[in-house]
Structure 1
Amino acid sequence: MRRLGSVQQKIPCVFLTEVKEEQSRKRACQQFQVVATENVNPVALEANVDCALATEKLDGTCCYVTVYKGEYRPYLWARLDRKPNKQAEKRFKKYQHSHRSCKGFTWNVEEDFKTVPETWIPAHRVKHLNGHPLPDEHGHIPGWVPVEKDNKQYCWHSSVVDYEVRAALVLRPNADNEDALEITTVPLAELMEQTLELIGTNVNGNPYGLGSKKQPVHCLVSHGSVYITNPPPVDFQQLCSWFQENPEGRVEGIVWLDLNISFTAVRFYALLYLLFMPDYTLTFFPPKILCFYALLQYNLLML
């Protein structure tokens, strides 16, 4: 049986990282950036990462399936990190600029963060102080909000779930042939406590080229469900070559899933100063799925 995971926190890089004194490619106001070294993270070595299951890191938006309103009624939840307000963000960036690190920065957890909907819940393993969730090293408090049909902000999330029939549209390996992918309806109860990636036409610039403006295509993919057939060893140079030269390396990154369902990953940004990957492809993604999906989506929404 395939091992699936639950991604509630930021995934650490499989390599140790270092700070470089150069303009950040992600943040215009940041005059330094964090990049990967060639040294494997000791945490990954302790987890025996070479024996872990290598899966594809997907480029979408994170979702979560759990109960809502105190009932055993599975719901799809969208990722919503609680972020600092403008004043706190300014203090935080100033501290980062002067210290080249965020370690040692002190937050006022009651006043420094933007309000979130009453239905918001913090992600698992978020630390608390006096009943208040604490931010991570990036100044964010990871969390979730339920996807409800009347919320236009999450309309693309809503398009892949039907609460009347309690099912969702999921892209996953075919039960009879794991080298092929299929899109099918899956009961939400089967997805309980899993995290998934929402991918499609209107998510993150649609790196997979799914659908079109006239016929948008969206689906969920369980984290850890799309594996990499012949992954390279956890070696910096071999991974660089794999990303650049191997057709299977046209992915956003690799997530290694260990036996205890903990993750360590090569993130795209960690190798960005060496690599450029113009187009991502889902491993073994057959074109016929798109036609099947359009019909399936129409049928589900018409129920």
Structure 2
Amino acid sequence: MRRLSPVQHKVPCLFLTEVTEEHSRKRLGQAFQVMATDQVNPLALEAHVERALPTEKLDGTCCYVTCYQGQPHLWARLDRKPTKLADKRFKKYQHGHKSFKGFSWNVEEDFRAVPEAWIPAHGVRHHEGQPVPDDHGHIPGWVPVQTENKQYCWHSSVVDYDAGVALVLGPGGQSPDLLELTLVPLADLLEQTLELIGTNVNGNPYGMGTKKQPLHTLVSHGSVRVRGPPPPLDLRGLRSWFQESGEGSVEGIVWHCDDGTLVKVHRHHLGLGWPDGDCSFSSRPVEVLVDRTAGPDDRLPGKNLLASLSRLDGQRFGRLRDIRWDT
């Protein structure tokens, strides 16, 4: 199974897009909306998207596993963003031109400082030694997740650096619909990107955990196939698939082409809202396979996610959103 490479942080849309005068449904403050046309992107056609593997685009925050201080480590997505003054100038330009094309940045002066360990994403272009902002005025990058940093407490909850493992949710081997929640060595995830989903991420569209029992997990990009027959590749058919089929209750689709090309479509490209009722992903059955030897941090019942899940080892739940444990 192919997984999203950190080199491909920007994935093209299945369709060619156009800019409308509506305000963006996805990005606050963006005075225009990017909408799909009925013309399939030539890049997708060249990559034979009709033969590609459609996978579910999950709604969370992107993570990356690579080495930090010589050990496999989880990194959180941290875009370097413009200062308030530069952002105001950028938005004024967008509003006047209905586009971000042609805007000129001074990276040294216009962007906020980032932690010393921060690195730009692999696909970011550079000019004269400086990273070049993307079309939205951000410089995508990564920062190592350190357990003492409360800003990334939900990231930290899914890793144990002493044991060198991460909590990962993915398809099980027993049936096509079954998911397995298990511990995976960080070394086995090196140079992969994953999505962190859960209670305190993006409004929790999957209904995972509770305020008292927050539940978060990583999901490897490209690991969750779209269920049922392949979605149609024409605009009208795909919009109907999202609206009318049970399999279509997903945030979006990422097609994995034979040559490694990735192509995506998001519901907002089709003018559709998200989340939309019960999500397909959260309705799938899950088996918890967290066989864990107790450590010093496991003495706090309900405070340590991995310790709590280890008490559920071997149990199966009818839906992802049903996972609970006693405190």
User: Structure 1 length normalisation: TM-score?
Assistant: 0.91
SS in 1 for 2:54: strand
Between 1:287-296 and 1:149-158, the stretch displaced more is 287-296
Identify if the C-alpha distance between structure 1 residues 154 and 124 changes in structure 2 by more than 3 Å, giving closer, same or farther: same
Q: Is the 8 A contact 1:173 1:179 kept in 2?
A: yes
Q: Which runs of 5+ in 2 are unaligned?
A: 293-301, 312-327
Matches within 5 A, 1:166-245: 166-229=164-227, 230-245=229-244
Between 1:292-301 and 1:51-60, the stretch displaced more is 292-301
Identify if the C-alpha distance between structure 1 residues 32 and 166 changes in structure 2 by more than 3 Å, giving closer, same or farther: same
Q: Deviations over 1:51-96 (max 9, x none)?
A: 1110000001100000112x1x110000000011111111111111
Q: Is the 8 A contact 1:232 1:242 kept in 2?
A: yes
SS in 1 for 2:105: coil
Give the deviation of 1:36 after TM superposition: 0.9
Instruction: Tell me the number of residue pairs that the alignment of Structure 1 and Structure 2 aligns.
Output: 299
Q: Deviations over 1:18-69 (max 9, x none)?
A: 1112333345544422111111111111111111110000001100000112
SS in 1 for 2:207: coil
Identify if the C-alpha distance between structure 1 residues 253 and 63 changes in structure 2 by more than 3 Å, giving closer, same or farther: same
Q: Does 1:161 align with 2:170?
A: no
SS in 2 for 1:111: helix
Give RMSD over aligned pairs: 2.5
Q: Deviations over 1:200-253 (max 9, x none)?
A: 111111110111111111110000000013221211111111111110111101
Q: Aligned partners of 2:182 and 2:21: how far apart in 1?
A: 48
* Aligned match of 2:144: 146
* Aligned match of 2:306: 297
Q: Is the 8 A contact 2:232 2:241 kept in 1?
A: no
How many percent identity over aligned positions?
A: 62
Matches within 5 A, 1:83-94: 83-94=81-92
1:86 maps to amino acid: K
Give the deviation of 1:106 after TM superposition: 0.9
Q: Is the 8 A contact 2:55 2:223 kept in 1?
A: yes
Q: Does 1:11 align with 2:11?
A: yes
Identify if the C-alpha distance between structure 1 residues 296 and 176 changes in structure 2 by more than 3 Å, giving closer, same or farther: farther
Higher relative contact order (CA 8 A, sep 6+): 1
Q: Deviations over 1:121-140 (max 9, x none)?
A: 00011111121111111111
Q: Aligned partners of 1:298 and 1:104: how far apart in 2?
A: 52
Q: Is the 8 A contact 2:165 2:186 kept in 1?
A: yes
Q: Deviations over 1:158-202 (max 9, x none)?
A: 000000010001001113434321011100011010000001111
Q: Does 1:250 align with 2:257?
A: no
Q: Aligned partners of 1:111 and 1:301: how far apart in 2?
A: 49
Q: Aligned partners of 2:22 and 2:309: how far apart in 1?
A: 49
Q: Is the 8 A contact 1:228 1:283 kept in 2?
A: no
Q: Is the 8 A contact 1:211 1:290 kept in 2?
A: no
SS in 2 for 1:110: helix
Q: Which runs of 5+ in 1 are unaligned?
A: none
Q: Aligned partners of 1:118 and 1:56: how far apart in 2?
A: 34
2:203 maps to amino acid: G
